[in-house]
Amino acid sequence: MTPRDASPQKTIASNRLPSSLFKSGKRVIDEDIFHARERSQTLSRGRQPFSLPWHALLALGLTLVVSENVHAEEKAPTTAELQEAASAFDRGRSAFRAENYTEAAQHFETADDYAPSPASLQLAMIARKEAGQLDRAASLAALLVERFPEEKKAVAGAKEVLALARPELMQVNIRCTEECVLTVDGKLLHGGGSLNRQVYLQPGEYTVRAGFSEERGTEKPVDGAAGEELGLLFEAPALPKEAPPVVVQSQSQIEPIPPVETMVEAEPSSGLSPTFFWTGVGMTGAGLGASIFLSVYALNNPGKDAVTEECQEQGKDCPAYQEGIKNQRNANIAWGATAAVGVLTAISGIWWTDWHRGDKETALLPSFELGRLHVRPVVTLGPVGYLGAEGTF
């Protein structure tokens, strides 16, 4: 099921607020400044005469309203927050009189965020309803009843809105195991954090997310029809484990380690030392040179012309012919041995050699000190051999 596509104008026409409730909203707006000034004059009796700007008087009036209704466990708003609430309330009052109800509702909700009060919440509820947003008006009405049950007139108006909403909307009762902030399809619900909320939505499918402290959160789908009452329970995810504190020692707490003459033992290795590979490379190079020399020697001693001249009538028993055969055999043996050593060297270099072993220090000599200078000879074997010394001071 998808959210119903309802026209705001039709919603207003079919579910118009009772005239008494709408008039009460305008009366709250018109009389608010009068009550604020009356309270300020009561407080200033017996003191020096003074005059305050209208916003300050309204902030003072809201202070008195808030102080009587805020729950004991909640933190009272600061002076700066009261001033912001008064300014937002003023903008909402102007927008409401101009019949810009959506804008008015936003300003009244802002005022309620800065300094929770039944007047701001009631006017936000009325403005949402007049804007054709029955679902948001009903959610604010449920919040008003929960927050300010002692405000009889405001609660009575909220219950009228709830009576209009229940047959047409789905009611979702939400409970969180820890105080949570709710969003519906990514839109924040007015009212701040709480453990229990009653939310009204147009019939359809939604995703409700509960956000907890430490950036924790969880979400659930909800799908309902008009007049249906549903329930959601959000369990707060476990808090992330804190990493153990890192203990940093000062320089004075770190004990110096005296130099010790030790022989560093090479770690055991399962492969051949790179020395074997490089030895094989050297032998292959030497064999290549010897093979070339013997091949050239066989061609020239005694040489093709000498064999032809001396052995015309003697055949294969000719000494010159036998000497040429012997020299050719020696060259062939040299080429074969060189090829065998080369293949063996290549195989050992690819599969049998532990090349990391060649990079490790053999530490053939112990370290020693020259005054403040600590010297240690270093001998390494690897693709590039190295002989030297390193030191610290």
Q: 0.85 exceeded by the pTM?
A: no
Check if CATH label 3.40.50.1000 holds for domain 169-236: no
Check if CATH label 3.30.70 holds for domain 1-165: no
Contact by Cβ (8 Å): 125, 147: no
Contacts of 102-108 with CB under 8 Å at 24 or more apart are 102/127, 102/128, 102/131, 102/133, 105/131, 105/133, 105/136
Contact by Cβ (8 Å): 303, 388: no
Contact by Cβ (8 Å): 234, 220: yes
Q: pLDDT band at 22, cuts 50/70/90?
A: low
Residue 72 φ then ψ, to 5° = -60, -35
Region 76-90 average pLDDT? 93
State the Cα–Cα distance between residues 214 and 341, nearest whole angstrom.
68
Contact by Cβ (8 Å): 1, 25: no
Domain-wise residue ranges, the chain: 1-165, 169-236, 274-389
Q: Would strands 170-184 and 229-234 be described as parallel, antiparallel, or unpaired?
A: parallel
- Decide if pLDDT at 287 tops 50: yes
Site of tokens 């499918």:
205
Phi/psi-derived region of residue 133, left when phi > 0, alpha when psi is between -120 and 50, beta in every other case: beta
* pLDDT tens track for 185-238: 999 999 989 999 999 999 999 999 999 998 999 999 999 999 999 999 999 999
